Amino acid sequence: MQIAFCCTDTKAEPWLQGLGQALPRATIEVWQPGAAPADYAVVWAPPQQFLDEQPGLRALFNIGAGVDALLKLRLPAGAQVVRLDDAGMSVQMAEYVSHAVIRHFREFDGYEADMREGRWSFRKPRSRADFPVGVMGLGVLGARVAQALSVFEFPVHGWSRTPKVLEGVRTHHGDVGLQTFLSSCRVLVNLLPLTPDTRDILNRETLGRLLPGGYLVNVARGAHLVEEDLLALLDSGHLAGATLDVFRTEPLPPEHPFWRHPKLTLTPHTSARTLRDESIAQIAGKIRALEAGQPIAGLVDRVRGY
């Protein structure tokens, strides 16, 4: 079995070693133009030339959860597209989002400012009932995040394309459910995949429906958010702030107004990182299953876009 490794911005050696140990009968090589046909590929942002030269691939394993960048390319017609299916990401996402929501709810930014000025000053406790949190996207990551937030006894709402039942979460779905979902929430967490249906979904109209003093946590993709609309809603006071991990242009350009905005907390696309060992174990397990003719989880529906 031949496996091609074609991952931009990724140190290949540890992946080749790990995959080699997990699949001792496979030949695993970093792809070079003109390489022999492979059966499977492990990819992240591969060049179009790779895909054009490998029309016989059986499956492409994306070493991330989001496949929006991969689906923009012309893919081999018969190849299954497989995303990382948690592989240690959901717990990272749950801790990142819980931290962001609690930091805002408990006003830790204010206490930090007080500390710098040597000021001992209490803030009045806020009521959780006044901070309903909405999670957009109830997939592998969103469901875990929604349930983590419910442990802290925030009222939690969730929104997905199709109906879902999740303990501790009030669920909504589809275009009709979106309106009730948004107007029920003060804090909004975005964990949608980027598809033609969800691009620009965080805009003046949708964010404007949140309860006054709303707060946004965007950990999915930068192109979900209309940046000028966020700035306008922060400046008008309708939104109290936002934590942003993803941006339309990454790295965020030095002149971007987000860097210096006092109501924003930014991180560099790091809320849930790909963990190499977990990912290798998952991909190797799926290759073994495919070779044995068994079904696997994490298959992407190319038409739906996630």
Q: How far is the CB of 271 from ligand OXD (least distance, A)?
A: 8
How many residues touch ligand OXD under the rule CB under 6 A: the total is 4
Q: State the residue for tokens 């496979």.
A: 26
Determine if 298 is a binding residue for ligand OXD (CB under 6 A).
no
Pairing of strands 156-160, 59-62: unpaired
Catalytic residue among 83, 161, 172, 221: 221
Residues 44-83 contacting ligand OXD, CB under 6 A:
64-66
Find which of ligand NDP, ligand OXD, none residue 277 binds, CB within 5 to 8 Å per kind. none
**Is the distance from CB of 87 to CB of 278 less than 8 angstroms?**
yes
DSSP 210: S
Q: How far apart are CA 40 and CA 5, in angstroms?
A: 9
Q: Which two tokens stand for residue 90?
A: 């959901």
**Beta strand extents in the chain (DSSP E only):** 2-7, 27-30, 40-44, 59-62, 80-82, 133-136, 156-160, 170-173, 187-190, 214-218, 239-244, 264-266
- Which residue in 204, 273, 217 sits closest to 63, CA to CA? 273
Q: How far is the CB of 86 from ligand OXD (least distance, A)?
A: 11
- For ligand NDP, which residue of 41, 60, 65, 185 counts as binding (CB under 6 A)? 65
Cβ distance to ligand OXD smaller for residue 65 or 75:
65
Determine if 198 is a binding residue for ligand NDP (CB under 6 A).
yes
Q: Which two tokens stand for residue 219?
A: 């950990």
Find which of ligand OXD, ligand NDP, none residue 154 binds, CB within 5 to 8 Å per kind. none
**256 catalytic, yes or no?**
no
Cβ distance to ligand OXD smaller for residue 9 or 175:
9
- Which residue in 175, 130, 170, 126 sits closest to 146, CA to CA? 170
Cβ distance to ligand NDP smaller for residue 23 or 144:
144
Q: How far apart are CA 31 and CA 39, in angstroms?
A: 12
Cβ distance to ligand NDP smaller for residue 7 or 26:
7
Residues 138-157 contacting ligand NDP, CB under 6 A:
138-142
| Site track for ligand NDP across 22-61, x = CB under 6 A | ----------------------------------------
50 φ/ψ angles, rounded to the nearest 5 degrees: -60, -50
What are 218's strand-pairing partners?
190, 244
How many residues touch ligand NDP under the rule CB under 6 A: the total is 29
**104 catalytic, yes or no?**
no
Q: How far apart are CA 221 and CA 271, in angstroms?
A: 11
| Site track for ligand OXD across 258-277, x = CB under 6 A | ----------------x---
Cβ distance to ligand NDP smaller for residue 229 or 245:
245
Q: How far apart are CA 85 and CA 140, in angstroms?
A: 7
Residues with catalytic roles? 221, 269
List interacting residues with ligand NDP (CB under 6 A): 65-66, 89, 137-142, 159-162, 191-195, 197-198, 219-221, 245-246, 269, 271-272, 306
